[in-house]
Structure 1
Amino acid sequence: MVESNASTSSLARWWRQVLFVPLLHSKWLTADARARLTKRVESAEQGHRGEVFLIVENHLPIQDAYYINCRERAIDLFSEYRVWDTEENTGVLVYVNICEHQLEIVADRGISAHVSPTVWHAMCEKAVSGIANKKTEESVAELLDEVGQVLRQYYQLEDNPSGNELSNTVVFLK
């Protein structure tokens, strides 16, 4: 979901993080589901020069939750995991926050020059809708496929070298 970068302090957001019980909400993210999503990331990276990176987080860090929202957290993780550090600035972070039922896409400046924030926003809204219908893994997998299609549209390769600038393994932050 693409939002304003301006964050508002939120006691309600902080309480949601404090009261969040991972065992009740993240059952879908089994080791098998993580392996399937890692395969989807690999598939989403085929046929183009972009990089797709997936982070799933149970909740915002408690010490930060009062001050930052999911968009800001995604931007921080984009930097922390160096998704921006690709040769053509074509890294795309897909961030899922289970507690907040939010999904964010942060795209590097290379791909942002071609893709409007409204496109990313529409993709996020579609996935969030699927997550609300208890189809979390399927919705995230479809979103990864869509991100790959967008990257192919602007950074297609005739041949697909094995170059991979970022890990394809799903990062799960408990």
Structure 2
Amino acid sequence: MAENNTSNPSFARWWRQVLFVPLLHSKWLTEEAKARLTEKVTQAERGHRGEVFLIVENHLPIQDAYHVGCRARAIDLFSEYRVWDTEENTGVLIYVNVCEHQLEIVADRGISAHVSPTVWRAMCDKAVSGIANQKTEESLAELLDEVGQVMRQYYHLEHDPAGNELSDTVVFLK
């Protein structure tokens, strides 16, 4: 998706973060659900040279929430977790913000050369729709499958060697 790291300042966004109560919204993300999603990341990475990285965050950091929206936060995390640092620039970050009910995909320049921002946005919108219908884990699992399919389309490997440039473990930021 387009690399726009600017956000409009928003008191409403900041207040949503301040008033967010994680215990009321993150019940779905049990240890078992994290393990299942981690396995889905591993499956999504099979058969291609890309890397898929999933971050779920309860809310934006309060100190940044006025100035930083979900897209900007996703881009910051893309850098912080070095998703860009893959041999062929084929890292894809999936970022979920529970409080904002938003999902962003940030793809490195290697895969972005092949996949248009509208494809990534359609994938995000479909997953957000499922999340809105209380099917969070299922929607994320399906999204991971779709990202894996897109990656195999452009970076297919006949014999996928063992090895991983990034961890498959789901990152949960409280």
Q: Counterpart amino acid of 1:109?
A: R
- Is residue 123–residue 143 contact of structure 1 (8 Å, CA) maintained in 2? yes
Query: Which residue of the partner structure matches residue 138 of structure 1?
Result: 138
Is 1:165 aligned to 2:162, yes or no?
no
- After the TM superposition, which residues 88-167 of structure 1 pair with which residues of structure 2 at under 5 Å, given as runs? 88-167=88-167
TM-score, structure 2 normalization: 0.98
Q: Deviations over 1:44-65 (max 9, x none)?
A: 0000000000000000000000
Query: Which residue of the partner structure matches residue 12 of structure 2?
Result: 12
4+ residue runs over 3 A deviation: 1-6
SS in 2 for 1:34: helix
Q: Deviations over 1:65-96 (max 9, x none)?
A: 00010000000000000000000000000000
The CA distance in 2 between the partners of 1:16 and 1:143, in whole Å, is 26
TM-score, structure 1 normalization: 0.98
- Is residue 17–residue 99 contact of structure 2 (8 Å, CA) maintained in 1? yes
Query: Which residue of the partner structure matches residue 52 of structure 1?
Result: 52
The alignment's C-alpha RMSD in Å is 1.2
Where structure 1 has 5 or more consecutive residues not aligned to the other structure, the ranges are none
- Number of residue pairs aligned between Structure 1 and Structure 2: 174
Where structure 2 has 5 or more consecutive residues not aligned to the other structure, the ranges are none
The CA distance in 1 between the partners of 2:113 and 2:61, in whole Å, is 31
Q: Counterpart amino acid of 2:43?
A: S
Query: Which residue of the partner structure matches residue 87 of structure 2?
Result: 87
**CA separation of 1:71 and 1:61: change in aligned 2, threshold 3 A:** same
Query: Which residue of the partner structure matches residue 22 of structure 1?
Result: 22
